[in-house]
Structure 1
């Protein structure tokens, strides 16, 4: 049976160039490294090193064995780490729900950091509108939710505000709004508006963000933007969604009459009250509360 310590000695000797260098690298005696490699050769029935020269040199069989040994050692390390994570109560899966109105870039850097810190935790991300998202938290269908502040957070749910999302009014370059220095409220009301369905489900956003008498809805914010690009209507969306589109010249933002200041509202991370999330109970929420997020702005006025 293969011995992990023998494999470690073999790989160290191959990478360090000699048994003495491998011993120094591993903090062991040269004899223990040499014995480990010898026993591995006996167990495998092959010669791993040519010892006829001053420094041992890998044989052809040793070259092939080295790559396999590295794979086995990586797997052994994964098993050790997984076992430690299990003992420390780190869950196997984290289910996250994100409001369709929010850009994924709000959480992508935190997801990356989390994947490095908890490599054995699988992440399941779904898109759920305001009411469905909080219900999913209460029913334990998801562990973390990211949404836009509504009129009140329901009982049984805790939250942290992690960012202020800036909203902008957008239209296509061919829109009648494109050349207007300021678009009147009367004009906005008379032209078709495209909205994400989640906005209509959020009481605060519906009251403050739905202006037109002619409203089309879409489930996905990206679909809203595509409809605006086609000149079918105008929309109010988070600025982050349109940066690339503006650079390409397929979308422009315009200033409406009602806008006196930047249009902002809070994005929150929510979780079920009194829920134990293993070692990650507070870690994840703190990841998204970090103040260096490019979406966090601190305006003196909040309109939305």
Structure 2
């Protein structure tokens, strides 16, 4: 028979998160004495001391730090079960929160979402624009249900859906094109490189070659494309996102001896398969179909 209750674990975590018993009382709207009682009962049932109180400061003991990790996992599992039950009870999820890396073709995402909305007109769709590891961070912090990312998640489910081609390009009148020969990375170092910043708050990563002495960093892929079209630098950009400028000849591929093109795997990522409702499953199916025959740079130039 279990000795502890979920409410005791919730109060324990509330004290940790708030930084003290008095602060926790304001957050969870319970009396300080009831929170003390719950935590004291938890300590008594577990046979360990969880907190040390020094003046107005409350500190976790070593045992408290260890049990906090276990307690957080326990509360997350309970929350997950509740979400699953809610999903089963409602039938169709009320909201689809989707995080999409800016390098992934937006027209593909919008086409898939249009199909979802046609089948489930009542569902609310919330789209987050992300860069690099930003998608996975939103999923891990439960701010997005599903994501399209160039990185698989360390935990959770990952499904590789396509390879996207990135190509080194510059405006047709850029000085690099005027050299009229094959280029090396040494040639690139003297010119401005346009880079897109990782949108994650905590686990930022760099991607690709970043060797230029002069760099401009932007927050959105659209800004990077605009700068290239205006002749203000060069960059590796997803072929799908620059179809128009490539076909019109406004931008041209750089004739690099190596590394002119690179392929990046993109993944459908989510935390828990049991939490995926019918509308989300429909979106997954549409994305899989739409990514089967995406064009490469050879098809566009």
Q: Which residue of 2 aligns with 1:141?
A: 143
Question: What's the TM-score once normalised by structure 1's chain length?
Answer: 0.61
In the aligned structure 2, how far is the partner of 1:273 from the partner of 1:192? 43
Q: Residues 60-87 of structure 1, C-alpha deviation per residue, up to 9 Å, x if partnerless? A: xxxxxxxxxxxxxxxxxxxxxxxxx996
From the superposition, tell whether residues 275 and 210 of structure 1 become closer, same or farther in structure 2 (CA, over 3 Å): farther
Residues 100 and 198 of structure 1 are in contact (CA less than 8 Å); yes or no, is this contact kept in structure 2? no
Largest Rg, 1 or 2? 1
In the aligned structure 2, how far is the partner of 1:250 from the partner of 1:291? 27
- Structure 1: gaps (5+ residues): 1-84, 298-304
Residues 160 and 285 of structure 1 are in contact (CA less than 8 Å); yes or no, is this contact kept in structure 2? no
Choose from 99, 102, 105 the match for 1:103: 105
Superposition map of 1:17-28 within 5 A: none
- Structure 2: gaps (5+ residues): 1-86, 297-301
Q: Give the superposition deviation at 1:202.
A: 6.2
In the aligned structure 1, how far is the partner of 2:246 from the partner of 2:273? 44
Q: Which residue of 1 aligns with 2:246?
A: 246
Residues 160 and 289 of structure 1 are in contact (CA less than 8 Å); yes or no, is this contact kept in structure 2? no
In the aligned structure 2, how far is the partner of 1:88 from the partner of 1:279? 11
Tell me the SS of whatever aligns to 1:178: helix
Superposition map of 1:18-97 within 5 A: 89-97=91-99
In the aligned structure 1, how far is the partner of 2:290 from the partner of 2:103? 21
Q: Which residue of 2 aligns with 1:211?
A: 211
In the aligned structure 1, how far is the partner of 2:157 from the partner of 2:192? 37
Residues 168 and 254 of structure 2 are in contact (CA less than 8 Å); yes or no, is this contact kept in structure 1? yes
Number of positions where the alignment pairs a residue of Structure 1 with one of Structure 2: 207
Q: Give the superposition deviation at 1:218.
A: 0.6
Q: Which residue of 2 aligns with 1:33?
A: none
In the aligned structure 1, how far is the partner of 2:163 from the partner of 2:125? 25
From the superposition, tell whether residues 199 and 213 of structure 1 become closer, same or farther in structure 2 (CA, over 3 Å): farther
Residues 136 and 149 of structure 2 are in contact (CA less than 8 Å); yes or no, is this contact kept in structure 1? no
Q: Which residue of 1 aligns with 2:257?
A: 257
Q: Give the superposition deviation at 1:259.
A: 2.7
Question: What's the TM-score once normalised by structure 2's chain length?
Answer: 0.61
Residues 161 and 267 of structure 1 are in contact (CA less than 8 Å); yes or no, is this contact kept in structure 2? yes
In the aligned structure 2, how far is the partner of 1:275 from the partner of 1:191? 50
In the aligned structure 1, how far is the partner of 2:184 from the partner of 2:137? 38
In the aligned structure 1, how far is the partner of 2:229 from the partner of 2:290? 33
Residues 192 and 213 of structure 1 are in contact (CA less than 8 Å); yes or no, is this contact kept in structure 2? yes
Tell me the SS of whatever aligns to 1:107: helix
